Chains A and B, each alone.
Chain A
């Protein structure tokens, strides 16, 4: 049974897949997009014929009043506590948070207990998601068994079971030979390898960006090179093997330059950036605020500006939330002992819109990096308003001001860097396969 057909009109249609930013209307039927056009039938309900397409009698007609209607966000890097740490986050709670933030597809990370490194576990996740989650959940499976960086998992079988790509999550693969083999083996299946770039030896016991601020706080630093050295190794390997490689998160100008150079030689290499590195810098840590402790660490303002420019010019392909729920017992600790990570699903769009309002990145490009591009990389049919695509859509008011209050956080964990922060731009309605999973009026 499907819901009533939905007809959105008077909407600012943003479709990065066709480079489209226009006022128009869109019809949803049976969970997918039936028609879309820049024609605006007169309201109210007397619009019978619209672009040679019948608007069904029982349609719900939504006057969007110029608000933005775009494909829903596809978040490529989300940590969820299920299975194993359900007190931090479950598929259900993460999906509710996602829906509120305009995220219609979550690619969840394999760093769970047990690790998602087996067909049965991919299958388990998909079944749990079907039963409990309100948005699409796409498992990202481990590259190596138990994330131990040694023995490869069954890429082919897990892809068939529904895994969308492979990563060792928070871990970086130290052994260059294993990394090479994984890239070659993934090529067999056309699979995408995502990697968190960090040289363990160089990062050592570092807890924040190396430099003046770390020195003043008496904290040991992680140099930028801990990231760019592994990234340089990986891009070399990706060129050597001709495989698809995606740097999960880059955080500074050195890595950005490296990606920019490599992209001139190949289109097999892509990269992402977390919303945190686009909107925050190391100064936000202030008096040892552990909610700002993340990996890779927040960098300098210059680095932040350069990754923002990287998003604007397309060097950086995708923006992720890096949603990583942590509980009080892993965060209310001395800074160096606290766990890395912040939640981000609920604030991903709103924080990204800051870049739009600041005039740094166009709305079309932001939605491309949040939705269309990640969908392409993961081989998903969403991320577009083309006819026939699944009706995974968000309707948002680009200008509505609001405050993100702790008491309103939907995630089980409350470790947000944006507590009581002001935003401009709010999700009004989220649809997954044509079904409304979140509405705010």
Chain B
């Protein structure tokens, strides 16, 4: 069957239609099943292709997940971690683009601390680019893997009530999830202290709550986002104690959601700040499964982008 996924890059959920999203999730679902089998055959879809993981921000799990995904598809994977000084970050970015272009990779996976930097890079480079997180903007593969995890448990996303809690203002995961869940017709709520709600949040297609208990009532899915420690130092949140009291997911608050509600977290977890350890390790938590789905989703995205390679060579 011919793929109708016609995107050159994956820069964000924003550019995807609901059918694009379903194509990715369907393929990823099949890959996930194949991955879970004991004897899995290494695929050769990306054989002879070079995949570079270019990370301007420290990351363990996303980078490892992309590396594994590429290797399982037969690509030659190279990791580049670029430590940036805070002053001349941009110079490094474009200089790096020129250098990378000369290496002629087929796939480039980029994470960068500034919003829009992956778009900028995509304009200046000849290969396929996947956004692995750009500032507070988007982290599309995270939203896709969250959706896949939900779909495996709930069958379908439309009609579910999903509550996203925590630092909505700075979270790229929250932005990508809000976009994706809306495209798939879920009811999306966000819960955050008022200082961590982005201006104009109510215009993103979400119900906005500052009271976590109200926001969790009747929820099918609870997504907890990570609270960055540096937010504590500035005046977004006064203390860990107060934050956990009002916005940490504990047993009492979890009981307000539906009994079969799922708990998701993109990791790494701050136990006792945004989520109680018991819940993170408890029966409703699918945090481990998210990591597993991450590999499947990234394999699916790599495969779909790679499907257009031959046509591209002709164009060039």
Contact = CB atoms under 8 A, between A and B. Distances in A.
Contacts of B200: 211-215
How many B residues are at the interface, by size bracket? 20 to 34
Contacts of A309: none
A214 B115 CA distance: 10
A384 to B, nearest CB: 46
Interface stretch (A217-225, A353-361, A394-402): A217-225
Interface string A326-339: 00010011111110
B201 A215 contact: yes
Interface in A213-242: 213-221, 223
B115 A334 contact: yes
A223 B198 CA distance: 12
B203 interface: yes
A338 B175 contact: no
Contact of A218 (B89, B91, B115): B115
A287 interface: yes
Interface in B41-74: none
Contacts of B94: 332-333
Given A218-B172, A288-B115, A212 B91 contact: no
Given A333-B90, A334-B114, A218 B136 contact: yes
B99 to A, nearest CB: 16
Contact of A217 (B90, B137, B199, B204): B137
Interface string A190-216: 000000000000000000001111111
Nearest to A214: B199
Nearest to B87: A337
Interface string B106-135: 000000101111011000000000000011
Contacts of B91: 329, 333
B138 interface: yes
B199 A336 contact: no
A216 B116 contact: no
B93 interface: yes
Nearest to B197: A215
A214 B169 CA distance: 11
A338 B90 contact: yes
A215 B119 contact: no
Given A333-B93, A334-B93, A334-B112, A212 B203 contact: yes
Interface in B162-200: 172, 175, 198-200
B199 A335 contact: no
B138 A218 contact: yes
Contacts of A332: 90, 94, 120
Interface in A141-166: none
Contacts of B204: 212, 215-216
B196 to A, nearest CB: 12
Interface string B226-260: 00000000000000000000000000000000000
A334 B137 contact: no
Contact of B114 (A210, A212, A335): A335
Contacts of B120: 288, 332-334
A333 B95 CA distance: 11
Contacts of A334: 89-90, 93, 112, 114-117, 120, 135
A177 to B, nearest CB: 26
B121 to A, nearest CB: 9
Contacts of B89: 334, 337
Interface string B75-118: 00000000000000111011000000000000000001011110
Contacts of B203: 212
A217 B198 contact: no
Nearest to A207: B115
Nearest to B93: A334
Candidate in B136, B201, B204 with the most chain A CB atoms within 10 angstroms: B136
Contacts of A214: 198-200
A217 B93 contact: no
B201 A336 contact: no
B116 A287 contact: yes
Nearest to A337: B90
Given A333-B90, A334-B89, A219 B198 contact: no
Contact of A335 (B14, B115, B138, B172): B115
A218 B134 contact: yes
B93 A288 contact: no
Contacts of A288: 115-116, 119-120
The residue among A211, A214, A288 with the most chain B CB atoms within 10 A of its own CB is A288
A332 B138 CA distance: 20
Contacts of A217: 115-116, 137
A228 B137 CA distance: 28
B175 A218 contact: yes
A333 B135 CA distance: 14
A421 to B, nearest CB: 20
A220 B136 CA distance: 9
Given A218-B138, A218-B172, A337 B114 contact: yes
Given A218-B138, A333-B90, A335-B114, A287 B198 contact: no
B166 to A, nearest CB: 16
Contacts of B136: 218-220
B199 A219 contact: no
Contacts of A287: 116, 119
Contacts of A335: 114-116
Contacts of A218: 115-116, 134-138, 172, 175
Contacts of A337: 89-90, 114
A166 B203 CA distance: 42
A329 B172 CA distance: 27
A61 to B, nearest CB: 53
Contacts of A215: 175, 198-201, 204
A214 B198 CA distance: 9
Interface of B: 14, 89-91, 93-94, 112, 114-117, 119-120, 134-138, 172, 175, 198-201, 203-204
Interface of A: 210-221, 223, 287-288, 329, 332-338
23 contacts: A212-B200, A212-B204, A215-B199, A217-B137, A218-B115, A218-B134, A218-B172, A218-B175, A219-B115, A219-B116, A221-B199, A288-B115, A329-B91, A332-B94, A332-B120, A333-B90, A333-B91, A333-B93, A334-B93, A334-B112, A334-B114, A334-B116, A335-B116
Given A212-B204, A215-B175, A334-B93, 7 more contacts: A214-B199, A216-B14, A216-B175, A218-B115, A288-B116, A334-B114, A334-B120
